[in-house]
A and B are shown apart, each in its own frame.
Chain A
Amino acid sequence: MLVSTAPFFVYLATVCLLFWATQSRARLRLLVLVAANLFFLAKFSPVYLALPIAASFDFLIGQAIRSTDDKLVRRLLLTASIVLNLSLLATIKIFPVLTAAGYMKSLSWLLPLSLSFYCFQSLTYTIDIYRGDLEPTTDWLSYMSVAIFFPVVTAGPIPRTGKLLKQLAARVNLTEAAAGRALLLIGIGLVKKLLIADYLANNLVNRVFDTPTLYSSVEILAGVYGYALQLFFDFSGYTDIAIGAGLLLGFELPENFKRPYLSVNVAEFWRRWHISFSEWLRDYLFDVLPKRRKWQVLSYSYAFLITMMLGGLWHGLSWNFLIWGALHGAALGVVFAWTQWKVKRKGRNAPVSWWGQLLSGIITFNYVCFAWVFFRATSVGNALEILRGIGDLTTATGNLTLPLLGVLLLAAILHSLPPKWFDLPALWVSRTPFWLQGLALAGLVLLIQTLAGRGSAPFVYGNF
């Protein structure tokens, strides 16, 4: 049940109606949410109905950590939680590798859903309790309501379980403003996913990466830039739908993107791209890695490299993702060293010229796109084929049709729009009468069906 398809919205509408109908009865409301979470998982495969068992372990471990002051016991309990979640994560990641290698091939269809977002979210719960940042909940239903929260379980954003628990306890009521925002977000998410990301994927990116030898250097370069935009609109489209769904159920999910391709260096890029993931890496991995003050640049660079390489492998166990992570880790190290050097030489608030910013932005965008080649390619050989194709410097543009260039331009413009510009439309939607809201959304769906007409491809980050 992809979140950009009709069944998801039928499902979401049904869950919302039940959830709102039980608004005044707290336990029943939680039951509705837990049942919705479980049914959503079962739609992918009934095998996932075993997930609450793993979630219950974390629930119990959280309480056990809180109940003891013994450092060793607390550490052992946390280790058990980490081992449990990492084992689950490793199983999910290794299983496709094994089936691709011919082992258990007949079972390759059994686990269609990656649970890595669940594992990351679960770890925030036990680690935060261990650090003393969070009081564990004693209510199993509340925990299950948020630990496997269906809008985020397939592809994030990765919320902190503690924050969701607080929101659940606060029993936030739906306001017209929030509902307007939610409907607008869902509409924007659909446009991003179905009109832009899928169009670029089907008409440019997949073709170039499938058969790079058939395209000129200019076309391959357009394919690489197209992939950068496709990935952004695919993932941020999903995120918008997830955030909209969360809002309708009274949850404020974290933002994941802030115009990332306008970043002036890779460090800033990671503060704007897949924010919930990069913050998770920072808080639960990078901060834990040992660093020495004496060898600050060296030890930080090393920590960046390890963090990003592990982050790369999280996407899949392949050389491609490892290289992608290493490229970002190395760049973060260089940016850190450069910043340190600049602060020492010119001070922390030294002005930066506009052309310096522009040049940095162009270099950063192209470096990020260069790394995306390894991220998207099916193998290192495929990535090298793409890079070789760009290096050939052939200039034919026969495959870059006017509609394609139009969508690329539209995508670049939409990506760069200031967030403030969407506030007014949200206000309009919230003030619009219900029948117009419903008809406007239906019109949008029909428009998408007319223009795209190609159906929804799976979300890229649903694979991770």
Chain B
Amino acid sequence: MAIFSEQDKNTKPEGAEATSPRRARLKTAQALVVLVAALLAWHEWGNQAQGMDSSILTATFNLHLPAPPVEIKTSKSAGPTISVGGSLSAESKLLVDSAKEMDSFYAALWNLEQSPKSGVVTVLHYGDSPTTADLITGDVRATLQDRFGDAGRGYTLIAKPWPWYGHRGVEVGGHGWRIKTGVGLMREGVYGLGGASFEGEAGASSTYRLTESQQSSADFEYLSKPNGGSFTVSADGVEVQSVQTAADETKVASTRIELPAGTKAVELHVSSGTVQLFGVDFHRGPGLIYDSLGLNGATTSVLARTQPPVLWKDELAHAHPQLIIVNYGSNESSFGSFVHKLYADELRLAIERIRKLAPGVPILIMSPMDRGERRGLDEIKTMPTIPEIVEIQRKVAAETHCAFFDTYDAMGGDGTIARWYAANPRLVTADLLHPTPQGAATVAGFFVDELSLGYDRWKMRHGIGFSAAAIVAQKLGRFSCAHARHGRALKEHPQPAKREHKARRNQ
């Protein structure tokens, strides 16, 4: 902006006192000295987060070569294929499972791999805002379904509770709903498997456009209750079923609707009365389902205190998960005092409830991503509560015999967020909390790598799928056994694969 008029540039402003250049220089020099002194004093005796640190005085005049950027950790798979390059002989530091909590999940995967047309393995991934956009979970789903089969898009909320809610492969739209979640509340409510409720009268509607794979059925989850209304479901504009939600008692109900082949859009219309719906679960056949159940602003308290136990138990029984992932902590990190004093108990409470309502289902606690805050004039630092939360989660996981995945450490630990923000392309958004699509793919890659390693360890412990020579070679730490099973990985790591091939020939 031109902030001075042209005339005033070369003429003395009206009323300005005539001063000697020497006096003007002296006055400005004194003003600059006062400025610097005031900022130094404020930093020293006022607020150490503000003002100017005296070290800046010397740092200004230090010369140095620009530092080469710190290498950003990337996933070994870094894409839609699984490759396992880690060591199978040692226990993972990132996916800790000393209680062998994940064994039943791995066994279910193994069964699925052996009889690909025989069943469905379901994973429920509960989380906060990084989960609600289905970025990390969408990438994990894509990778795991690529390997174990695509059983469908899974659980989708009835409408978007917030604009950035998303579910990959399903474009959700809706209007006329009163939406409730347990976020921010400390009491039980009436919510579905996904932690949200959608109440609407005649005229309320939702549309689900299926943008990727074909889905064969849709399970609508709702609350059946006395005086419940009805809704209709259409596929590509043709009504396929009308559902009455009226019932003698109040309980969670689910109606499966078979979708005609080639359905591109499913529509839901409330036709009469008031209905309360929770979600729609899209299926397409045997394989793996990975449900992304993220609520914006959610904390562990959503699971510990707000999910209604009776309804949730039925919902969990209907979903029949083989693994439940509990992935919170980003929102808790804003409340240091809560983290110090109450967080561990809150997490224990959530785990206890899940154990009670879904007995026998393995639980994996997944730590939050690194989260940053800006300090001083141009610094981005990891929030000090993040490593604290991660340690609490690790400790509670060990106590409660849950598995634990350290997302924070996988990303690179302290200072990661600054590196990810400076990366090109950027891996976290400017709020220093949410991943960009590239960052989400990276985190998903870390997680899938560790899951695959855990799975291969389980197989090795059970003597499955590995030749004796391969196991010996693995124990020598020379290559990953998984390469023997996945042709894709052979291309990525030709040398170890060759060695294994040679070992097999010699066998």
Contacts and interface: CB of A to CB of B under 8 A. Distances in A.
A215 B430 contact: no
Interface stretch (B107-115, B140-148, B369-377, B399-407): B369-377
Contacts of A179: 24, 27-28, 31
Interface in A163-184: 173-179, 181-183
B248 interface: no
Interface string B1-43: 1111100110011111101010111011111111111110010
A215 B434 CA distance: 14
A438 B33 contact: yes
A10 B36 contact: yes
Nearest to A452: B374
Contacts of A173: 21, 24
Contacts, number: 219
B63 A7 contact: no
B31 A183 contact: yes
B63 A46 contact: yes
B430 A430 contact: no
B32 A17 contact: yes
Contact of A423 (B5, B133, B379): B5
B11 to A, nearest CB: 9
Interface in A398-448: 398-399, 414-415, 417, 419-420, 422-423, 426-427, 430-431, 433-435, 437-439, 441-442, 445-446
A79 interface: no
A177 B35 CA distance: 19
Contacts of A258: 1-2
Contacts of A176: 16-17, 19, 23-24, 27
B29 A17 contact: yes
Contact of B50 (A177, A213, A449): A449
A188 B3 contact: yes
A175 B21 contact: yes
Contacts of A20: 25, 28-29
B57 A259 contact: no
A247 to B, nearest CB: 10
Interface stretch (B159-167, B216-224, B313-321, B386-394): B159-167
Interface residues of A, number: 90
Interface in A326-351: none
Contacts of B375: 455
B430 A207 contact: yes
Contact of A438 (B2, B32, B65): B32
A211 interface: yes
Given A106-B68, A442-B39, A423 B4 contact: yes
Interface stretch (B279-287, B340-348, B421-429): B421-429
Interface string A374-407: 0000100000000000000010101100000000
Interface string B411-446: 000000000000011100111001011000000000
The residue in B35, B56, B160 that gathers the most chain A C-beta atoms within 10 A of its C-beta is B35
Given A175-B12, A236-B1, A438-B32, A5 B377 contact: yes
B164 A210 contact: no
Interface string A97-118: 0001000001011101000000
A16 B28 contact: yes
B506 interface: no
A92 B57 CA distance: 31
Nearest to A2: B378
B238 interface: no
Given A439-B34, A442-B39, A7 B59 contact: yes
A445 B376 contact: no
Given A109-B68, A112-B66, A257 B377 contact: no
Contacts of B51: 445-446, 449
A455 B63 contact: no
Nearest to A415: B1
Contacts of A206: 426, 429-430
B437 to A, nearest CB: 6
Interface string B360-385: 00000000000000111111100000
A173 B424 CA distance: 46
Contacts of B52: 6, 10
A110 B69 CA distance: 10
A37 B21 CA distance: 24
Nearest to B57: A10
Interface string A45-67: 11000000000000000000000
Contact of A5 (B13, B30, B69, B378): B378
Contacts of B4: 181, 419, 422-423, 426
Contacts of B431: 202-203, 207
B24 A174 contact: yes
B60 interface: yes
A431 B430 contact: no
A334 B375 CA distance: 48
Interface string A12-41: 011011001001000000000000000100
A42 B374 contact: no
A349 to B, nearest CB: 24
Given A173-B21, A214-B133, A259-B1, A438 B31 contact: yes
A154 B4 CA distance: 23
A442 B12 contact: no
Contacts of B15: 427, 431
A46 B64 CA distance: 8
B63 A419 contact: no
B261 interface: no
B163 A214 contact: yes
A455 B380 contact: yes
A175 B24 contact: yes
Contact of A434 (B30, B39, B61, B437): B30
Given A176-B19, A207-B429, A210-B430, A13 B163 contact: no
Contacts of B380: 455
A43 B37 CA distance: 24
A454 to B, nearest CB: 4
Contacts of B69: 108-109
Given A211-B133, A455-B378, A174 B21 contact: yes
A112 B424 CA distance: 14
Contact of A435 (B13, B24, B34, B374): B34
A377 to B, nearest CB: 12
B67 interface: yes
Contact of B66 (A44, A174, A213): A44
Given A183-B31, A434-B34, A455-B379, A215 B163 contact: yes
Nearest to B41: A442
A427 B2 contact: no
Interface string A239-260: 0100000001000100101110
A216 interface: yes
A455 B381 CA distance: 11
A234 interface: no
A396 B223 CA distance: 27
In the complex, the 9 A-B pairs of residues with the closest C-beta atoms, listed nearest first:
A438-B34, A173-B21, A214-B164, A442-B38, A206-B430, A437-B31, A434-B30, A396-B163, A454-B374
23 contacts: A10-B52, A10-B57, A11-B60, A16-B29, A106-B68, A108-B69, A109-B68, A109-B69, A176-B23, A176-B24, A179-B27, A207-B429, A211-B164, A211-B429, A211-B437, A420-B5, A423-B8, A427-B16, A439-B35, A439-B38, A441-B35, A446-B51, A455-B380
Given A106-B68, A203-B431, 18 more contacts: A6-B52, A20-B28, A23-B25, A109-B68, A176-B24, A179-B27, A211-B437, A236-B1, A426-B4, A427-B13, A430-B16, A431-B15, A431-B16, A434-B28, A434-B30, A435-B31, A437-B35, A446-B42
